[in-house]
Structure 1
Amino acid sequence: MSLLTDLVNQNLSDCTDKIIAEYIWVGGSGIDLRSKARTLSGPVSDPSKLPKWNYDGSSTGQASGEDSEVILYPQAIFKDPFRRGNNILVMCDAYTPAGDPIPTNKRCAAAKIFSHPDVVAEEPWYGIEQEYTLLQKDVKWPIGWPVGGFPGPQGPYYCGVGVDKAFGRDIVDSHYKACLYAGISISGINGEVMPGQWEFQVGPTVGISAGDELWVARYVLERITEIAGVVLSFDPKPIQGDWNGAGAHTNYSISKTGGQLQTWTHTLSLP
């Protein structure tokens, strides 16, 4: 295992100018994330300089088997906290070979709105509070909960500290630091009301970048929970009954509000 760890952590810049770019996109359900990697000849900092790529949309619920090719357009670049070095994460959206956005590509329409001069002049700020739940892999039950049973009632867990109140902090802190490394505008984290449930905040950030950063923050969290052997859930009601749900407070401000972020909604799930 030590050799495997050494290879995973190897610094490629010691031996080659080539880098690895992980292309990320939203799958057919509107909430699942997909990614694939490719080798580039050297470091890139401008997404417009990256090559477009393709994937099999019939395998992601985004195209038919008879005409399955979907094209990825790079839109935003982040440092890769997993491969490190000059390697990058690339947030993409998806188009047909003819250049039309596929039906699940919501970013294209949003980009048109955010690039409108009237919208740009308002400088729309977003601060998004993403709640999520960490589940035990084999039973899909929150971590820290007895299998098939329930913990003590809610109350001590929100922003709680202690082995009997905070479950999964190593994952949460790893995600926090990985997002900062990637260049994501993550502004904080906290334990939530239900044990095994946490929240991270992205922003304030302006316009379409809020969506790009949130999706990449979600991707990074998916990768970290993959390594930890824990299931990540954005389900708005992961446990039925009198247990806290999970959503995304979305705080919003424009120049007319004087830079004061206003809470838009508590239950918005941003797929």
Structure 2
Amino acid sequence: MPSTAEDVLKFLKENNIKWVDLQFTDVPGRLHHITIPASDFDLESLKTGFGKLDGSSIRGFTSIYESDMVLLPVPETMTLVPWSPGVARVLCKVFWGGGKGRFERDPRFIAEEAEKYQAEQGYTSFYGPELEFFMFDKVKLDVSTPQSGTGYKIHAREAPWSDSGTFVIRFKEGYYPAPPVDQLMDVRLEIVDTLVKYFGYTIEATHHEVATAGQGEIDFRFSTLVDTADKVQTLKYVAKNVAAKHGLVVTFMPKPIYGDNGTGMHTHLSLWTKDGKKNLMYDPNEEYAEISQFGRYVIGGLLTHARALSAIVSPTVNSYRRLIPGFEAPIYIAWSKGNRSAVVRVPAYYKGMEKAKRIEYRPPDPSTNPYLAFAALLMAALDGVNKKIDPGDPVDENIYHLTPEKRRQLGIKELPRSLNEALDELESDKEFLKPVFNSSLLDTYIDLKRDEARSLQGYPHPMELYYYLDS
């Protein structure tokens, strides 16, 4: 892939590109695009950007009286769009119009600032998210007249309610079934093949996940903060488009199905020296999980700020339908090795392997804005390091099975149970973010999410009629 402006122009010419998709991310995390002629690209435009954006029409961006904005391509993200011949795409940085500089609410800017901040402190960090998703045959929505009622219907060939006449996957029994029970393997493989061939990914695994109805997962090789966030946005973009070619609908919504596991984005994280030569999380002489004291401070920061982090890493009303007991979703603020009932897990696959030592933060789901999520995790981790926050003793039990009294004795708190509760926590605990998250971004984000929660709160849920119609 290109790395300079000159490389971009060469790439466009050699691949006979006629159109280029300029892509960027809004504050909630949605990917947007505008398509322009490839002939508009020259060395000058790649330096100054393209004045093509009305920021007042993008959530979290600008008002109508200051809406002219500029998109500046990031050369190393320029790739072909394999399902659209003659088209390329490139991720962009967002700038104010009129030469006023970088737009401070551009989520990618926050991620870039986080990388600068860690470098100033002598660190670099790596991230390995596990993206889960559902792949449905069709989703029917009935929301056009909410006054008379709302509803939806999911059609999924693998689901127990399917009438496809083929194998079905029972609820909570979808983990690793071999074909032909796993009916969507070929589509997942087309997604990962596309990511490898055209977008430069190194794929570690893809598989069916626990839930029925086409739940899958794709894991790619860990990378640095901004690059990993770019890769999350690209993976979602590719998965949705490849599935659409087959008439399928991919969703990264956390909890679309009642009674089965939701969709998460467990995120693996490690901090290294700035030159990337020493893993600061690893101590071969530490008996418990070979996790260093530095690594314990990282965990301490994540646990201390876990409730505030929820507003960013579990950012939708639907996120909190996933974060409930009984579906392998983390709700208890504790840490342990190899324990998936804790918010922070220290993977224990290997012994004596420095490069593999990391922690897994389990609450995130893929509806999050990855630029904000990874930056927030880093800031919580560094706060733990700078303040030497001890995480307490690990909890090597199934926390789901502990009594409330036992959890109180161990000092185990819970994650918020709603988006509004999480936003309350963020408003009261956001100082740790402020070296990187400017107040304009934080205030706008909180306002957007408050509006989202308030809007959905006004709609009667269909199941409320089942429970309360005879009141």
| Coarse TM-score class (shorter-chain normalised) | 0.7 to 0.9
Higher RCO (CA < 8 A, seq sep 6+)? 1
Structure 1 residue 127 and structure 2 residue 140: aligned?
no
The amino acid that maps onto 2:111 is: A
**Gap regions ≥5 residues in structure 2:** 1-11, 141-152, 273-279, 282-353, 370-471
Partners of 2:137 and 2:156 within 8 A in 1:
yes
The CA RMSD measured in Å over matched residues stands at: 3.3
2:154 equivalent among 141, 157, 161? 141
Compared with structure 1, are the counterparts of its residues 234 and 85 closer, same or farther at alpha carbon in structure 2 (3 Å cutoff)? closer
- Work out whether 1:168 is the aligned partner of 2:184: yes
DSSP-derived class of the 1:247 partner: coil
Q: Any conservation in 2 of the 1:128–1:248 contact (CA below 8 Å)? A: yes
Q: In 2 relative to 1, CA 129–53 (structure 1 residues): closer, same or farther, beyond 3 Å?
A: farther
- Structure 1 regions of 5+ residues with no counterpart? 1-11
Which of 190, 193, 204 is equivalent to 1:177? 193
| 1:47-97 CA distance string (max 9 Å, x none) | 965843422334443444454433222234142241588853211233331
* Aligned: 1:186 with 2:203: yes
Instruction: Show the counterpart of 1:70.
Output: 69
The structure-2 alpha-carbon separation of the partners of 1:94 and 1:124, relative to structure 1 and needing over 3 Å to count, comes to same
Q: 1:209 to 1:119 in 2, by over 3 A?
A: farther
Change in CA separation of 1:13 and 1:108 when aligned onto 2, cut-off 3 Å: closer
The CA deviation at 1:155 is: 5.0
Confirm or deny that 1:261 pairs with 2:261.
no
Q: Deviations over 1:168-205 (max 9, x none)?
A: 22321111011102113433211100121011113211
Query: Which of the two has greater strand per residue?
Result: 1
Gap change, CA 1:121 and 1:81, over 3 Å in 2: farther
- Equivalent residue of 2:223, what SS? strand
CA spacing shift, 1:117–1:251, aligned 2, 3 Å: closer
1:106 aligned residue: 107
Alignment of 1:1-271 (within 5 A): 17-27=16-26, 30-41=28-39, 51-61=49-59, 62-75=61-74, 76-82=76-82, 88-97=88-97, 98-101=100-103, 103=105, 105-116=106-117, 118=119, 121-139=122-140, 141=154, 143-144=156-157, 145=159, 146=161, 153-163=170-180, 165-181=181-197, 182-195=199-212, 196-241=214-259, 243-255=260-272, 256-257=280-281, 258-259=354-355, 260-269=357-366, 270-271=368-369
Larger mean CA deviation between 91-100 and 172-181 belongs to 91-100
Displacement after TM superposition at 1:215 (Å): 0.9
Q: TM-score, normalised by structure 1?
A: 0.77
Question: How many angstroms apart in 1 are the aligned matches of 2:114 and 2:219?
Answer: 24
Report the AA paired with residue 243 of structure 2.
Answer: T
Question: How far is the alpha carbon of 1:135 from its aligned partner?
Answer: 2.1
